[in-house]
Amino acid sequence: MRLTHIAAGLCIAAGAVQTQAATISVEITNATHSIHFTPILAVAHTEANHLFRLGEEASDGLQMMAEGGSIDGLLTLADSIGADTVANPAEGLLAPGAMTTIASWDTGDADRLSIVAMLLPTNDGFVGLDSWQIPSEPGTYTLTLNGYDAGTEANDELIVDGSGEPGTPGIPANPSGNSGTMGTGVTSEESNTTVHIHRGNVGDTMVEGGASDLDSRIHRWLNPVAKVTITVH
């Protein structure tokens, strides 16, 4: 079984794992201290397709999701390739420590699973699972997912209302409401414009001013950022 861009542990007996259409249940847990996930998109698809790929430029749909939390563009992409989707299973934001479940999902002819959601507060960070091979062997499979940077926006770490539109600098919101104000910006450029592992928020400890509007004691995070448990029935 191939695991792409994630760390994973298998909670089944060792043995050959083959793939075919399956009915699965998926539990997604936000494993961060203070980062929220925007509406999650889970997609069951074929091997030839991806929602994102490490080291490649983000699609317009991925940029839309990573900068503003909208999954509409990726839903359009998924529909165009005949994928099966579950959109927004948490019915809104998934808070730190919270879990959402997709129960008894018939994936049809699809043999790959991808999952994405924006990380808030970040400029263009997202949690992602890229084209994980769905086993046909019944059992429970536990994965840990990393946070990625879409490479489409500089990580200035400034909270700016209305900045969720693609190409508009700034973090659109901080759901916890514990950010600072009047930051000058951690950086104004992004040297890596492809999808890459996120560095995590830098932050500072100033309520007003400083480089960042984020609090380094609250919003700093390291990978992994999510736990996903997949049960193949």
Which has the closest alpha carbon to 194: 57, 59, 17? Answer: 57
- Most distant CA atoms of the chain, gap in Å: 57
Q: Are 215 and 205 in contact (CB under 8 A)?
A: yes
The Cα–Cα gap between 121 and 199 comes to 13
Q: What is the mean pLDDT of residues 52-59?
A: 98
How confident is the model over 102-142, as pLDDT tens digits? 999 999 999 999 999 999 999 999 999 999 999 989 999 99
Distance CA 74, CA 13 (A): 35
Q: What is the C-alpha to C-alpha distance for residues 29 and 25, in angstroms, rounded to an integer?
A: 13
- For the stretch 10-29, pLDDT in tens is 333 333 344 456 899 999 99
Cis amide bond preceding 138, omega within 30: no
SS3 at position 163: coil
Look at residue 192 in the predicted model and tell me its pLDDT: 97
Give percent of the chain above pLDDT 90. Answer: 89
Q: Report the run of H or E that residue 28 belongs to, with start and end.
A: strand 23-30
- The whole-number pLDDT of residue 44 equals 98
**Residue 102, token pair as written in the block:** 């997709």
φ and ψ at 25, to 5 degrees?
-120, 145
CB atoms within 10 A of CB 229: 16
